[in-house]
Structure formats: C-alpha cells, structure tokens
Structure 1
Amino acid sequence: MTSRGTATTSRTARTTAAAPRLTGIDAARGLALLGMMATHVLPTFEADAQLTPTWVGLAFSGRAAALFAVLAGIGLALSTGRERPLEGRPLWAARRGVALRALVVAAVGLSLGGLEVNIAVILVHYAVLFLCVLPFLGLGVKRLWALAAAWILASPVLAYLLRPWLLAADPPLRLGHNPGWEDLATPARLLGDVFLTGYYPVLQWLAYLLVGLGIGRLALASGIMPFLLLAAGTAVAVAAKLLGTVFMEDWGGRAALQAQLGSDYPLAGLLQVNLAGVEQSGSPWWLASSAPHSGTTLDLLHTSGVAAAVVGLCLLLGRLADWLQLDLLLPLRGAGAMTLSLYTVHVWIMASLHGSPLPAGRTSEGVYWAQALAALALGGVFARLSWRGPLEWLGHGANQLGRGRPGR
C-alpha cells in the first residue's frame, strides 16, 4: 500500500473513532431487546387447538430477533469506517477484533445453553454470524446491497434443498436444544443445526447482517436518510407480506401445504406467528410463505424492511430529542447499549422460573413488565454514568485486544 493510501486509511480510522454515537441505533437495539423478551415471557398463541395468535405473536415474533441481527450489521459498519469502509491493516485489525468479540459472545451463549429454559438462545448463532460476515467488512455500500439482495434470493432455496439431506442423516444433524459446551464434541451436528436446521439458521440469517452493513454504510446522520429508511423499509415490509398473502391464500399455497400436513394441523396460526420447528420440505410452496421464522425470501424481505423502518424511526426520534435538548431516549438507548448483559440476565431469570408455577398473584404480564422496567432503569443508570455493561466490557476488551489496542 502506498504512503498516501496508508495516510488516507489512518484518517478514516481517526474519523470513525471521533464520530458521535448515533443514539437512535442504541434505542432501536433496546426495542429489539424488549420485543425479544416479550416473545419469551408472554404467550404468542392462545391456548386452543388452532393456535390462534396473540397480539404479541403477531407484533414481535420474527421481527424483534431480525431487528437485533440487522442492528448487529449496522454496528459493525459503524465501527469499521461508516460510509468509508476501512482498508488494509486497519481493516484486518478490525476483523481480528470482531472475531475475538464473537468468541466472547459464543462463550456466553454456550454457557446459557446448559440452562433448562424455554427460550431459543440466539447468542451462539449471533457469534457465528459475526465470523461469517468478516470477509464483507471492507465492501462499499453498492456491493453490500447487491450481495444482500442475492443472498436473500438464493439462500432460502439452498436451505430448502440441503435441509432434507441433513435431517436424513443418522443421527439427524439437528440438536433440538440450545447449543451448549457439550455439543462441541459433535461438531457436524452442531454446525448443521447452527447453519441450517436450528431456530436461527445462519445460512439465511447472514442476509440480515449484510442488510445491516448496507444500512450502516449510508450517511445515517444526514437529514434525509432516516426518512428514506422509514419509507423504504415500510414499503418493502408491506409488499413482502402482501405478496406472501397472495401466494398462500389467493393462489392456493396454504391449501396445498395443509393437504400435505393433514387437516388437523394448525397451519394457519403457525403461518402468522412462527414456522420454526416445522419441517418445510416436500413442496416448493414452503418457499412462497412470508411466515415469521420461515427463512424464506419473503420472510427475509419483510423482517429486513421492518428493521430498516424501525431504525429510521429511532434515528428521527433521536434527532427530535437532540432538537428538544431532552434525552428522551436515555433508558431505551441505555438498555440498547448493554443488550448482551441484559439478555443474559433475562435468560437466567427465565431459567429460574422454568418448570415452576408462578407465585400466587403473579402473571406472565407482571413478570415481563418487571424485567422490562428493570432493564430500562438499569440501562438509564449505566448510560447516565457512561458505564459499559459487564459483558460489554469483556467484549470491548476482546475487540481492542484484536485490534492491537489493549487497555483502550
């Protein structure tokens, strides 16, 4: 690399380090955390034979976790050059930092995997996504958007073709539980589950990080960009959901799948809330669904659009708060800045309640709001004091160590 190129890269790194933190991004991350907690604590289906969706299932299932993943991509873009991606040695240093941070997240996720809890813990998949996205950190916005579009189109088809082969293995390459330390002894089954047969299949979910990288490479601090994200994200989300409805209801997709599964199978409710765990094979109509956690092209488009719209809205709210000179988003952005710590505590709390009836007078709504308000209060305190969460501190230390800047 020439000296001029080295100087330009150094200036880019200094500019990135000095750039102000976008509070709207942290606020969106806080919303994603609260939404994921809601799907863990509150019922997403009514207790009936047809699995009638609740408002929680309709509003948050699939969308909150996807928002969390898209924001991961945005965060990586913001830490690796924003509109001007890093190059050369700074880029390789950033990749090492992200890789070491991913190992911290994976260690936390594998530890949580040993708990008895009715939650699909995302952290191991999240860490693997960080590792998988490393080759793309140096790409500019146009290439990222082209790659994201291709991934959204191709990865669901590839998953549809590969899943039956993995499930036909003896034993099937599916865990049926959260990844834990003991699963490292069966790497083929662990990788098969993480990439294709598990709750958050990395093969398709990499699309969310690519979308997030593409968003993070935009000029998010400019006047019009949040409006464009809100408008474009809403349009994509609505169009994908409408097209999925046309395929399923008007063109006979749901009737064909119902015939395959049997008339008593509660497919209608599952299509509205969650297809995770349903073996989507034997009919190409599975690829035409926009159901949450189906991992289809329309699902990826819908949830990515929702995520972009939420990010645009939160950026606008952050700008409004700055204009009013009131930190209206303090609790939400504080919680969003320490999601790893708060998510881990939430999983531990839910594990302590797993399998036991709630005390007299306690309801799932009360359990949720107690945790949500505690997360907001704790996040507000940490943000006001400019503290990192304990696990965020570990992740930051690993990142700085990888970048060759220990102690910073």
Structure 2
Amino acid sequence: MTQRATASNSRTARGKRPGARLAGIDAARGLALLGMMATHVLPTFEPDAQLTPTWVGLVFSGRASALFAVLAGIGLALSTGKQQPLQGPDLWAARRGIALRALVVGAVGLSLGGLEVNIAIILVHYAVLFLCVLPFLGLGVKRLLPLAAAWIVVAPVLAFLLRPWLLAATPPLHLGHNPGWDDLGTPAALLGDLFLTGYYPVFQWIAYLLIGLAIGRMALTAAAVPALLLAGGAMVAILAKWASVLMMEDWGGRRALEEQLADPSYPLANLLQVNVAGVEQSGSWWWLATSAPHSGSTLDLLHTSGVAAAVVGACLLLGRLAEWVELDLLLPLRGAGALTLSLYTAHLCVMASLYQKPLPSGWTVDGVYWAQAAAVVIIGGIFAALAWRGPLEWVAHAANQLGRHQPARLR
C-alpha cells in the first residue's frame, strides 16, 4: 500500500496522470473527431463539373471515420483486460456494461437523426457495432488477428452479393437518411440500412472493431509496439492503395465500371478518390477491386485500417515523447478525444443551426470549421486539465457501471 501511494504521489508531483503512456489513444480519437468535422464542414470536391477532389476529401474522407471505429475497438480492449481478456463473470459483466453504454450512444444517435443536416451521422451504427463485437471480447490477439483478416476478405464479397437483393425489395431496405426514432417502426428497412445499404455498413465495419480489439490486446506500453503499428500500418495502407491502382488503372477496372455506368461525363475517377457511397456498387465484380473511401471493399478496409494503425502508433510515440520531456504535448487533443460523444453532438447541433442558411456577415466556410476546431481543442483541453467528464460521457459511463455491477454472491 505504501509503495503504491508513493508511486502515485511521484507521478502527481511530476504532473503526470496514471495511464499517461496511453494518452496517445485519446489524442488519436481527437484527431479522428477533427478529421470527421473537416469532411462535414469543408468541401470534399471543388464546385466544378468534374468534381475535382479537394485536399480535405483526399486526406480525410473515409480515413477519419475508420480511425474513429478502430479506436472504438481499442477502447473496448483496454476496458476489458488489455493483454489478458476478462473471462467468466467479469467478462459477462463487462459485456452488460458495454451493451448499456451502446444503448445510450444509440439513443443519442436516434435523437440526432431528426436534425436537418447534410451529414451522415455515425452514432447509431457505432452503437450497433458495439453490440456486434460483444461475442469477441474474450479473445486474445492471436485469435483476433486471423478473424479480422478473414472478415476483411469475406464480408465485402457477401455484402456485394446481398446488397442488390435488399435494394430490390419492395420497398427497398434502405433509409436514404440518418436513422431516427420513427425508423424503429420499420425494423427491416432500418436493419438493412444499418448493416448493408447505408453510409456506414456495420457488416463490413465490424472488421474495424476487430482490428481495434487486436491492437488493444497488444502490449501498447512496450517500446516496439507503437513503432510496429506505425511502420506496419503505413505499409499495409500503401500496398492496399497500390494494388487498387494497379487493378483499376492498369488492368482496366475503372474503364469497365465507366462503361457499365454508361455516362461518359460521369467523374468516376474523382469519386473513387473521395467517396463512392452514393454510387450503386453492383453489376460488376470490379467494384471489389477499388480502395475508394466508403466503398467497403477489402482494399478499402485494408487501406483505412492501415492508416488508422499508423496514426495510433504515431500518437503513442508522441505520448512517449511527451513523457520524456515531461510536458503534456497532447493535452488538447487527448482532451477532445475523451469528450468525443459530447463534442460530436455539439458539432452536429451547430451544423444543423447553419444548414441552408446564410453565414453570418464576415464568416466563411473555412472560418466555421476552424472556429469549431478551436472550440473543440480548447474545451477538450480544459476538461482534461480539470479531469472532468463530458455530460454525455458521464451518462454513458454511468450506464456502463450499472451494467458491470455484480451483486455480492451469498456464501
């Protein structure tokens, strides 16, 4: 007891917090939030006939949301035993807690679904993803990695086969809008949209959480793991993109898809760089050869997962540097990353208040983004410095604790 108290006081005296070595995880989550906000506010295409991609579309589209999902898996791993997964009653208690937290996130998402805003809101899908990975929480990294690899290969093929069937139903099992409370009255359309036909198809996105769980089960505080994540993730991302370019450009995949679309003016080449979520990807197996953002293909999942792993590794290395220089360099980002549910919700409410309305005098779209980004970083930094939870994080945490409660067993 005395030794633990002395160590704790020593950390406090140096201005460090327990678990500071994993502050990079929260910082990566803060980066994901800022990247998603950028795709919501700033244009991803230039306003020309060819839809020329902007730097925001080229850098953040598909990658920021994937990073957000991979980090969800890492967070689940860290809260369920880290390298040694919980087992027995403790695992079941953790599953109950995560399920209740998912219900809170899902309720927030369904409530936000009523906002008039041109943004694909991820929270309901996020909550469903939490529920879908509950069976895998007791697995270690050696079982999670091959499972994630198999999911990345098989799920896109099954989705490609099933999606046309769902869209051909009468009415189509597709919402065309953010899920809201009213959609609970049409469960088939809601589930079809959430799992296969919507913007964030849960069926393929389970791969992100499996990869996140595998990363979270690694020894993240070991010296080599962050560097391995950075190097290995970058290599996977580059190879996946190279393979897609090879098949689409050199082997004729893009030309075949353009012929199928039968519109010579359709800027498919530019859409493949930024976002193909609005394109019906059916009728040609070449759709599975793309690595286009939001395509849900094997190469898309590999590329975005690799980017996510590399970002996590880089942030963990920055966390190590911050410890070495005894300066919390990541405070603003990790603060924002610890408040993502509250800050994301606030961001959506701000965007809804501006939707289809003229900007205030003197404001530009760039100004709207940077003002929100600054607010996110400042608020996050203040909450982190004061060790406060955000309001929605407090509710989600309370639900988690309620689910994890294990009444004392009678002897």
- Normalised to the residue count of structure 2, the TM-score between the two structures is 0.94
Distance 2:28 2:366 in 1: 22
Q: Which residue of 1 aligns with 2:88?
A: 88
Residue 152 of structure 1 aligns to which amino acid in structure 2? I
Q: Which residue of 2 aligns with 1:278?
A: 279
Q: Which residue of 1 aligns with 2:390?
A: 389
Distance 2:50 2:142 in 1: 45
Residue 371 of structure 2 aligns to which amino acid in structure 1? A
Question: Does residue 288 in structure 1 map to residue 289 in structure 2?
Answer: yes
Question: Does residue 174 in structure 1 map to residue 154 in structure 2?
Answer: no
Q: Deviations over 1:363-386 (max 9, x none)?
A: 111000000000000000000000
- Give the secondary structure class of the aligned counterpart of 1:44: coil
Deviation at 1:359, TM superposition (A): 2.0
Q: Which residue of 1 aligns with 2:319?
A: 318
Distance 2:198 2:60 in 1: 19
Q: Which residue of 2 aligns with 1:201?
A: 201
Q: Which residue of 2 aligns with 1:243?
A: 243
Question: Does residue 335 in structure 1 map to residue 336 in structure 2?
Answer: yes
Structure 1 runs, 4 residues or longer, greater than 6 Å off: none
Distance 1:25 1:132 in 2: 22
Residue 56 of structure 2 aligns to which amino acid in structure 1? V
Within-5 A mapping of 1:362-381: 362-381=363-382
- Give the secondary structure class of the aligned counterpart of 1:90: helix
Distance 2:19 2:121 in 1: 32
Distance 2:49 2:287 in 1: 22
Residue 30 of structure 1 aligns to which amino acid in structure 2? G
Q: Which residue of 1 aligns with 2:19?
A: 20
Q: Which residue of 1 aligns with 2:12?
A: none
Aligned identity (percent) is 77
Within-5 A mapping of 1:39-50: 39-50=39-50
Q: Deviations over 1:345-404 (max 9, x none)?
A: 000000000011212221111000000000000000000000000000000000000001
Distance 1:52 1:286 in 2: 21
Residue 114 of structure 1 aligns to which amino acid in structure 2? G
- Give the secondary structure class of the aligned counterpart of 1:117: coil
- Normalised to the residue count of structure 1, the TM-score between the two structures is 0.94
Distance 2:319 2:171 in 1: 50
Distance 1:192 1:266 in 2: 28
Q: Which residue of 2 aligns with 1:29?
A: 29
Q: Which residue of 2 aligns with 1:354?
A: 355
Distance 2:240 2:63 in 1: 13
Q: Which residue of 2 aligns with 1:188?
A: 188
Deviation at 1:405, TM superposition (A): 6.6
Deviation at 1:264, TM superposition (A): 1.6
Distance 1:87 1:215 in 2: 19
Distance 2:25 2:400 in 1: 20
Within-5 A mapping of 1:262-277: 262-277=263-278
- Which stretch shows the higher mean deviation, 114-123 or 262-271? 262-271
Distance 1:90 1:277 in 2: 43
Q: Which residue of 2 aligns with 1:101?
A: 101
Q: Deviations over 1:306-358 (max 9, x none)?
A: 00000000000001001100011101000000100000000000000001121
Distance 2:350 2:42 in 1: 14
Deviation at 1:19, TM superposition (A): 7.1
Distance 2:212 2:75 in 1: 8
Q: Which residue of 2 aligns with 1:139?
A: 139
Distance 1:295 1:344 in 2: 25
- Give the secondary structure class of the aligned counterpart of 2:89: helix
Q: Deviations over 1:2-35 (max 9, x none)?
A: xxxxxxxxxxxxxxxx972510000000000000
Count of residues in Structure 1 that have an aligned counterpart in Structure 2: 389
- Which stretch shows the higher mean deviation, 70-79 or 356-365? 356-365
Distance 1:20 1:403 in 2: 21
Residue 347 of structure 1 aligns to which amino acid in structure 2? L
Q: Which residue of 1 aligns with 2:7?
A: none
Within-5 A mapping of 1:110-129: 110-129=110-129
Q: Deviations over 1:54-109 (max 9, x none)?
A: 00000000000000000000000000000000000000000000000000000000
Closer/same/farther in 2, CA of residues 334 and 405 from structure 1, 3 Å limit: farther
User: Quick check: 2:93–2:406 contact (8 Å CA) kept in 1?
Assistant: no
Distance 2:49 2:68 in 1: 31
Q: Which residue of 1 aligns with 2:222?
A: 222
Q: Which residue of 2 aligns with 1:69?
A: 69
- Give the secondary structure class of the aligned counterpart of 1:155: helix
Deviation at 1:266, TM superposition (A): 1.4
Question: Does residue 402 in structure 1 map to residue 403 in structure 2?
Answer: yes
Distance 2:98 2:227 in 1: 30
Residue 156 of structure 2 aligns to which amino acid in structure 1? P
Q: Which residue of 2 aligns with 1:9?
A: none
Q: Deviations over 1:147-179 (max 9, x none)?
A: 000000000000000000000001100000000
Distance 2:149 2:86 in 1: 23
Residue 134 of structure 2 aligns to which amino acid in structure 1? L
Q: Which runs of 5+ in 1 are unaligned?
A: 1-17
Q: Which runs of 5+ in 2 are unaligned?
A: 1-16
- Give the secondary structure class of the aligned counterpart of 1:24: helix
Residue 391 of structure 2 aligns to which amino acid in structure 1? P
Distance 1:391 1:237 in 2: 34
Residue 165 of structure 1 aligns to which amino acid in structure 2? W
Q: Which residue of 2 aligns with 1:60?
A: 60
Distance 2:80 2:360 in 1: 48
Residue 79 of structure 2 aligns to which amino acid in structure 1? S
Residue 58 of structure 2 aligns to which amino acid in structure 1? L
Distance 2:55 2:405 in 1: 48
Q: Which residue of 2 aligns with 1:165?
A: 165
Deviation at 1:121, TM superposition (A): 0.1
- Which stretch shows the higher mean deviation, 357-366 or 105-114? 357-366
Distance 2:406 2:340 in 1: 24
